[in-house]
């Protein structure tokens, strides 16, 4: 009785330990390439902007298919959510550019499975004329 219980326990433990690599193989980490914004783009505060990414090579199973986009300035991810709760499979999401300090070292981080950074772009005030 005790032996059977122990065997069952060890067998269950064996299954748990060995099931893990299988689930990692079945569900791949999706690392979609960000297509826009591109380096040097300009976003105007208050305008509708979109972020697009390549969905053509996404794995069939995505561990976290719910996307979120945060703003990053220099090396620091800001506490500014540009968009959230969208599907990573959509390939794009639109939002209104929030009122942040205008500068030329902004980028975005696309979260799903991974956190992918875009190149740096500028955010300007609506009344600034872009040359």
| Closest CB to ligand NAG among residues 4, 129 | 129
β-pairing verdict for 42-44 and 121-124:
parallel
CA–CA gap between residue 7 and residue 66 (Å, rounded): 40
Spatial separation of the C-alpha atoms in residues 86 and 110, rounded to whole Å = 11
Question: Residue 85: CB partners within 8 Å, gap ≥ 6?
Answer: 66, 67, 68
Residue with Cβ nearer ligand NAG (63 or 78): 78
Q: How far is the CB of 21 from ligand NAG (least distance, A)?
A: 26
Nearer to ligand NAG, 27 or 98 (CB): 98
State in angstroms the smallest separation of the CB of 6 from ligand NAG.
45
Q: Which stretches of the chain bind ligand NAG, using CB under 6 A? A: 35, 52, 54, 56-57, 79, 85, 90-92, 125, 127-128
């Amino acid at each position: 009785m005790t032996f059977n219980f122990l065997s069952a326990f060890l067998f269950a433990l064996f299954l748990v330990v060995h099931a893990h690599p299988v689930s990692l193989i079945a569900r791949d980490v999706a690392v979609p390439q960000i297509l826009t914004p591109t380096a040097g783009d300009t976003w105007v505060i208050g305008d509708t902007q979109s972020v697009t990414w390549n969905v053509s090579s996404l794995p069939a199973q995505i561990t976290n298919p719910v996307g979120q986009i945060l703003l990053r300035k220099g090396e620091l991810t800001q506490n500014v959510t540009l968009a959230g709760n969208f599907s990573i499979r959509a390939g794009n999401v639109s939002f209104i550019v929030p009122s942040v300090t205008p500068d030329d070292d902004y980028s975005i981080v696309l979260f799903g499975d991974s956190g992918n950074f875009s190149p740096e772009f500028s955010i300007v005030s609506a009344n600034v004329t872009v040359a």
